[in-house]
Amino acid sequence: MTDVSKRRDFLKSGAAGLVAGGLLTAAGVGASTQAALAQSAPNSRLRTVLDRGRLLVGTGSTNAPWHFEDEDGTLVGMDITMGRILAKALFDDPEAIDFVLQDPAQRIPNITTGRTDIAIQFMTISGQRAQLVNFSRPYYIEGVALLTRPDADNKSFDDLLALGSDARISILQNVGADQTVHTALPEAQVMQIDTQANVLQALEARRADAAVVDLSTVRWLVARNPERYFDAGKQWYSMLYGAALQQGDPDWLKFVDTVFAIAMFGHDTALYDDAFKRFFGLEPPTRVPGFPTV
């Protein structure tokens, strides 16, 4: 056989391989549960979850847009969607999941004791926490942002900046609250308030010109109530949200990272995109095939 013939045969078989096992067929996208069991380490949480047939996710139920009950009493939110994405990858069924409702203080203890398989509960990744649990790749970049009223004379960040010391900004009472505000608005008056609800109430009552809250909260409120709230267009202090897993289990961590990467950047983004639009009121960025941006 000539070199040209060999190359032609190779190209033919390569094309057939793409059709049989790549993007051109849905049948070759996922491995079976049995195959996954054969590959995972005997003591991995991945094998435990597959044997059980359901995923146990630690989360909350009182913090929109991350985890909360809708009008029908159904648990929804971006954290809940990430859990369903993981269940779908495990069992081809986003409903094969049990949510363990917990206080934020129980996120790490319930992981380290094995009560939950994973914690998906708007958890900020930090060096201190990473000494106790493994973190997945981030699935959202949180920040702080300015919320104003659409009917206000000074509703944009530039308007507020121009107000100087006349700008009144409400923020949840906390160590460093003044510094947080002054990072964006150096001359503004800072109103530290006892609860998040009262932070928003000060804005609605016009006692404050803007409220400093989480970026996700700004987008959630603006998406649901555009007649009441306005995004002033300023975000700062990036924080990474990731899922927490038990340490010492590379198979489980790698699986979760892979699933999240596919959901955000790969061939199966429908659940993530729908949730992103529903809870933040924004279209996800367009994924462009070619150079990897994951």
Higher pLDDT residue, 14 or 67? 67
Is residue 182 pLDDT above 80, yes or no?
Answer: yes
Lowest mean pLDDT among 45-54, 197-206, 284-293: 284-293
Least confident of 24-28, 126-130, 167-171, 193-197: 24-28
The pLDDT of 168-197, averaged and rounded, is: 96
Would you say domain 31-139+242-280 falls under CATH 1.50.40.10? no
pLDDT band at 13 (very low <50, low <70, confident <90, very high): very low
pLDDT at site 24: 41
Give the lowest-confidence range in 11-20, 105-114, 148-157, 260-269.
11-20
**Statement: residue 21 has pLDDT above 50:** no
Helix (H) or strand (E) holding 56: strand 55-59
Average pLDDT over residues 74-89: 98
What are the distances in angstroms from CA 28 to CA 39, 203, 216, 226, 290? Answer: 17, 53, 37, 44, 22
Q: Which two tokens stand for residue 155?
A: 């509703």
289 Cβ contact list (under 8 Å, min separation 6): none
What average pLDDT does range 4-14 have in this prediction?
Answer: 41
Return contacts of 152-156, CB within 8 angstroms, 24+ apart. 152/209, 152/230, 154/209, 155/230, 155/232, 156/232, 156/233
Asked, colleague to colleague, whether 31-139+242-280 and 143-239 share their fold, the answer is yes
Residue 190 forms beta bridges with which residues? 169
Average pLDDT, the chain: 89
Give the residue from 141, 138, 168, 167 showing the smallest Cα distance to 261: 138
Structural domain boundaries in the chain: 31-139+242-280, 143-239
The hierarchical CATH code for the domain 143-239 is: 3.40.190.10
Are 66 and 72 within 8 A, CB to CB?
Answer: no
CA distance 229 to 218: 8
pLDDT in tens, 239-261: 999 999 999 999 999 999 999 99
Band the pLDDT of 42: cuts 50, 70, 90: confident
Residue 173, pLDDT above cutoff 70: yes
